[in-house]
Structures are given as C-alpha cells and as structure tokens.
Structure 1
C-alpha cells in the first residue's frame, strides 16, 4: 500500500539529516538573547559591506540587470531603487561581497552575511515584517549554512566556493522562516535550494567577477526556493545525505553529524568572525603577524626596505590554493595574494581599500615603488603542520630575516575578528562608518547604525529600508 502513497506522504516520516534540519528550523526553540545580539553584530557588519559595495561597478551591473528583470516593487536595492524580493536579494548579495570585508566563519569557510542577510531582508520587506522576525530568521539561516559548511569542509573547498553553495541552504531557511513555512515545506525549500547550489573557484585564475555573483545567486536562489515551497513545489527530501545529494556530489569526505549535533544548544551565528582587512580571509593571520612586527620594531617603509633581507610566510594548504598569486597584476588578484598583503602590512601598516587602488598594478605586476621592491623578498610556503590545524584554526607564521642575520618571528592561529580573537561592537561600528561615510555620507551611515541598534523596535522593515535607501540615493521621501 505504501508504494501508492504520494511522495510527500512518504517523506514526512523520513529521519535523515535533511529532514532533521528542516524540522528544527521550522519549529525552533526560543533563541537566546546572546545569539540574537550576535546576529545584530552580523547584520551591522554585513550592512556596512552592502551599502559601501552598492556603488561599486560590479554592483551597478547587477542592479541594471535586476531592473530589466521586471518592475516589481517588493524590496530595496540599495543605492538603486526597488525590485522583486528575489531581484533585490541578488543585487544586494553581490554588493555585500565586493569589498572583501564581509564576515567569515572559520569552521565552514562561509561568508554568511552576503547571501543570508539580503535574502532575509528582501522577504521581510515584501511580507511587511518587523526587525525582530528578521533577526530570528538571520540566526536560523546562519545555523543551517554554517552547519552544512562544516559538514563538507575542507574537501568541498577544493573546487567549490561555500558562500555560493552551502549558503544557498541558509538563505532558503532564512526566507522560509519569514514566510512561516511548516516542516514539510521547509524540507521542500532545502531540496530546491540544494539543487541550485553552485559556485566554482575557477574564476580566481583570471579575477573574474564571479565571486561576487556567488552570494547574490545564493540569496536569490534561497528566496526562490522558499517561495516555490510555499506554493507546493517539491524538493528532494534527502538533498544533503542522499546517494546523489549534496554531500556526495560536492565533497570527498563529509561528516553529516556536524549538521545536527547541538541543534538548539550551539548557535552558529555566535561563532561568526569579522574581517578587518579588505582581502581574502586566508591572509589575515599573516597580516596580523606582519603588523605586529612592524609595530614592535617601529619600522617605517624606508627601514623595512633597508633592514629586511627576506620574509618567510608559512600557511595552510587549502588557504594557499586561493592566495598563491606572487605578483598580482590587478587589485582583485592582490586581494588573493598572500605575498602582496604581507608586503603592504610591513611597508604601510595597513591593508585597507587604499592598498588595492588601480594605480598600484600594471600588466607585468605590482608597479608601486616600495611594494615592487619588497615583494620579491616575500616567500610564502605551505606548512604541513599548519595544514593539519585547518579548518579548526587558520594559522600563519611569519619570519623576517634582517640584513644583520637576525630572525624575527610572529604568528597566530586565529586572525583578529574571529571568536577566539574578537573585536568589539564599537570597533565594528567604526569599521561601518569608515566604509559607508565616504561613499554615501554621514547622514546615511548614522541612520543605518540607528536602524541596526533598534531592530526589534521596527514594526515594518519595508518602511525602514525604503527610508534608508532614499538617503543612500540622495533622495528624501516622507
């Protein structure tokens, strides 16, 4: 008799990883205040990257595309009007990832803000929901994405960009939570999200814009997955653990227990990390070490060039695969060059947006004078010892050999901004202002900060987002 039952009837009793996760996010326990506060920090940090990135060329291209996709008025496309919820999620997701300053979770290697926050915000606007529901959805979306990321990391990372793949599940969960999907609908949403999950690392060879597209599509696909599920569109009920599912298809080794262990007890948003440098997160521990050496010895650029014979940087294998460019020809390649960012840290004491200006690079590589002189002396290499520590740690060791033969050493296992090496909310707000004010003005920056601080008091995010977007566009709306 069971063979004649509809597929949906059979799936309800399935007890696999996908169904367990769907049941949890559709019927979560009370979320602790600490997790909600950590979600607020993630929103603060992600919104800063979104607003600042919204005026960059890749964002403008996608905003133009979204306008051509239709004339819906569901949600804000920051700095560029309004669009459908899916379209706004796409455009805002791309914008959030452009400056390489959005958050990073160590265990999963996922930038969760760029896909999840735009998806949640777009749906919250369309559904006229308040800030409290939005924050709750962000917590659930992070939990799903980061747990799935941990289950497939690190082998998944060899070919796949997790921010485009596993975060599609997180965006679907956040959107589905705001739509009030029940357990069965949420399982459908996960199934549809998983079959859309994509994002290949091949773009890194040329510095193509694909990396920013990945979180945008994850956000868009997550919204679509939840919308389809609400309409009765079915998805694979074993999308994660099935014999042709996500785990098997995208990783050489996986641990499904990472998805379900501690559900409702450990909230992954509270493990989130924040980036202080405008480049790939795999370089940040080495940057910290280089900056500490520069500060400790009081060097300026001339002294570094006079005194430093060689700089040896040890890192871990999966990170090195992404940051191995030795003489970048473009700002984008420089963001993925361990040698370049360590050189910048030693010479200039900063690795911010200024260090990636166009005038520093040419067809043959770095052309900025001091950097071009130091760069050949920087010798990065993979350490098997450090590789064994990843992804639980993101370690680096820096040795600076001076012309007098002295060797100076610094290093760490966790970059600043990680849970183990945290930054304060005040530091994140300072980062927010530094990103947003030069691009959109002090009024828009302070308005956005107030919005984040008072999220739970906002009854309708559609109104709040529209008012912020008006300031971002230089237009005053009543």
Structure 2
C-alpha cells in the first residue's frame, strides 16, 4: 500500500468520538491561537494587498474573510492564512518544523463554513490535518528545511487532508488529494534575504492549494499514487535525507497535534531559546543594559541560517534577527507585538546592545535539533562577572507548557485593539463542539464591524 493510501485510510477512519478529551481541548487552544494571530495580522499591509486582490477577482460569498465580508472558499484561504502568519505568533511543531495552524485551520474553517458543518467535524478535521503534515515534515526534516519552508510545502498536505476529511472523501479520493497537494508544494527560503512579503504568500497558497487538491479529488481528479516515496516524488526531489518510517510509525495510535508548541514572543521561533535565557538572566540578576558588556549565544546551526541578521532594516526583518530579539528582550523584558515597533527598531539603546550580541553554532544543540530547540547564553557584565543560562525547551513547548490561562491572556494581548471582548470570543471557541461554524464566523464579522459601538 502506498504512503498516500495509508494516510488516507487514517484520515477516513478518524472519528470525533475517538478523540480523547485532552486532544479536543488542545485543538481548541490551537484554533484560539490561530484566530488571535489572524486578527492581529489582518490590517498589515501585505494582508491588505491580498484582500484587495481577492476583491478584484470577486467570488461567490461562501465564507468569511478575517478582514471582513465574504468571498469564495479559495479567496478566504488566501486572506485568512496570510493574516494568521504575518505577526509571527502562530504555533510551531519542533520535529517537523511546521506552523500547521496557519495553513490547516483557515482551510478547514473555509470548508466547514461553506458546507454548514459542525464544530465537532471541524475539530476532527484539524486533528487529521496536523497529523498528516507533521508526519511528512518529520520524514524530510531537517534537510528539506534548508531551502524549503516546511509550512508551505508539508503544510499543503495538511490543508488537503483536513479539507478532504470535511468533504467526506473516500480513501481513493483522499489519496488523489494528497498527490495533487504534493505536486503543488512549494515555498523557498530566499525571501528571508530581503525580508520580503513572500512568507505570507507561502501560507496563503498552502491553504489554498490543499483545498484545491481536495475539492478536485471530490470530482475524482486523479494524481500521482506515490507522490511521497516515488522516484520523482516529494522525498527524493526535495530533501537530501528522509525517513519514510516517520509517516506510519504509531499512525492512529497517537495524536501529534498535542506535540504542538505555542509562541510567547512575537518573533521567529528560532530566536526564542536565547530570548528565554536572556530574560531569565536579566530578571534573576536585575541587569540593566548599561551593565552588559557582551551577550554570547550558543545554539543550533539553523538559528544562524535563518536569524543571524545583525542589521535588520524593518520591523519584520527584526523578528528574524537573533541579535535584535535578544537585545530587545534584555532592554524591555518583553517581546510582545507591542514591543516590535519602529521606535524599538531604531532605538539607540537596543542598537548599541545588538553590537554586543554574538551567535555561534554549538555541536550539542545542533545535534539535538529538531527534537530540541535549545540555546545557552552567557552574559558578561562590565564588572567582569559572567552569568549563564540554558534551555532545551523554550516556553510554549510541550515540555515547558504555556497554561490555558496564559494562552487566553496571549489571545487578549493579540486582539485587544481588534475586538471589543476577547474573553467572549475565547469562550465561544472553547464551546466550539456545540455550534455550527456558520453560526460563528459570520457573527465574528458582525462583532468586528460593531466593536466600537
């Protein structure tokens, strides 16, 4: 049996009734985190550009846009997926290196709203989508990640699987969906050299392409049967090392969604291990920026590949700069959305401290990655004293969990200037299994439009 068929069988057989309560509740946290990120990002210029484009295209009013109004399923995927990725607060899975929420959830919500499906069906589909894309990401990581953005590539499979589950496709049709998801999988890291808007296009198209693949499969539109393991398939074409066993190991016996990590700081996750260490040292020793002579970061190689940027020239680029993020949190003792501003980007205090930050790859942390995303930080003070801290698990990892009330607080922080009552919106999501999606998102648009009343 092909790998696509095995994943398709898993997806067909998954039922809401088989989900442990822990998984259901955790999935709601994932939805809450996606929704907060989407609301926080909806007014950003790249998202507005995509919104303006879909308005130019037009489309049947099938489902809601996070920016307001309605459009087609495909257009909703484009807008809602881009919006939920741009502020760099969306979820992350360590070993697959995927932000699943930003591609799986907008696709699933668009289908669920358009076809008048229930919260239970949505939750089940999201669990399936996360499972499929995480397994494919684990199979090709970390080699795939050097050139390819896993969220864009592997995430397309997750979008397809979640959509296929909601469309009630059979095994053969889901295999078709996965095959045509794989042939569309794309997203190169070169955008990071320019701090370009392309990263939002990655998630927009991953959500869109997965839905496209599933909806074509519903019409029995066929695809490569061995899109993963075939000699010209995803594994061989897009990774130098891969492990097929990751696709089926314990498949159906575990729920990978609960391995998900959540971001606390509003920056690239690769900056977080060092940021946590810096914050710990600053707070434990009551350090001021004037007292710091050097900040030496020892971490895994991917941190340098993605976030070694000593001179970021935009707010977005600053979120991919280990030097900036470490200096920012040392000065502000916070790195929320409200800390990443033009003022902080050009702050003489932060810029001066950035010059004192060094980042180096460490064999221990490089060897432990991607199962562990760790760092060791040594701060040398002006008086010659050295203080050290290390972590294998930044805050928000399953091994260093953020509690439910912390995630609700994060949601409120992300959305306080977007909606009037974040606590009420959170309560709706925590009751999602008891409502239909059509009764949720259109009302979200109403609440957004009337938030100042």
Residue 318 of structure 1 corresponds to 302
Secondary structure of 1:266's aligned partner: coil
Scaled by the length of structure 2, the TM-score of the pair is 0.97
Q: Match of 1:364?
A: none
Structure 1 equivalent of residue 284 of structure 2: 296
- 2-side partners of 1:188 and 1:19: how far apart? 9
CA deviation string 1:47-102 (max 9, x = no partner): 11011111221111111111222231111001221111111011100000010000
Contact 2:365-2:375 at 8 Å conserved across structures: yes
Report the Cα distance in structure 2 between the residues aligned to 1:352 and 1:456, rounded to whole angstroms. Answer: 31
Seen in structure 2, the aligned counterparts of structure 1 residues 475 and 283 have a Cα distance that, compared at 3 Å, is closer
Give the number of aligned pairs.
451
SS in 2 for 1:410: strand
Q: Show the counterpart of 2:203.
A: 215
CA deviation map 1:294-323 (0-9, x unaligned)? 110123xxx321x21111001111222000
Distance 1:136 1:220 in 2: 20
Distance 2:159 2:355 in 1: 42
Q: The residue matched to 2:130 in structure 1 has which SS?
A: helix
Please say if 1:200 is aligned against 2:188: yes
Distance of 1:130 and 1:467 partners within structure 2: 15
CA distance in 1, matches of 2:304, 2:450: 42
Is contact 2:92–2:100 with CA below 8 Å preserved after alignment? yes
Of 59, 66, 70, 1:78 maps to: 66
1:464 alignment counterpart: 440
Aligned to 2:331, which of 332, 342, 347? 347
Select which of 343, 346, 351 maps to 1:359: 343
Q: What's the CA shift for 1:103?
A: 0.3
Determine if contact 2:14/2:124 at 8 Å carries over to the other structure: no
Question: Unmatched 5+ residue regions in structure 2?
Answer: none
| Equivalent in the alignment of 2:395 | 416
Q: Would you say the 8 A contact 1:447–1:468 is kept in 2?
A: no
Q: Does 1:180 align with 2:168?
A: yes
Deviation, 1:219, is: 0.6
After TM superposition, the score normalised by the length of structure 1 is 0.92
Q: Match of 2:2? A: 16
Partner in structure 1 of residue 51 of structure 2:
63
Instruction: Check if 1:453 corresponds to 2:441.
Output: no
1:19 Cα shift? 1.5
Q: CA deviation at 1:450?
A: 2.3
Which position in structure 1 is the counterpart of 2:80?
Answer: 92
Gaps of 5+ in 1: 1-14, 362-366
Question: Deviation string for 1:177-231 (max 9, x for gaps)?
Answer: 0000000000000001011111100000000001111111111111111100001
SS class of match (1:91): helix
- Please say which of residues 88-97 and 44-53 is displaced more in the overlay: 44-53
- Measured in 1, the distance between the counterparts of 2:451 and 2:268 equals 35
RMSD between aligned alpha carbons?
1.4
Residues of 2 paired with 1:252 and 1:430: CA distance? Answer: 41
Q: Is the 8 A contact 1:63 1:80 kept in 2?
A: no
Which residue of the partner structure matches residue 309 of structure 1? 293
The structure with the larger Rg is 1
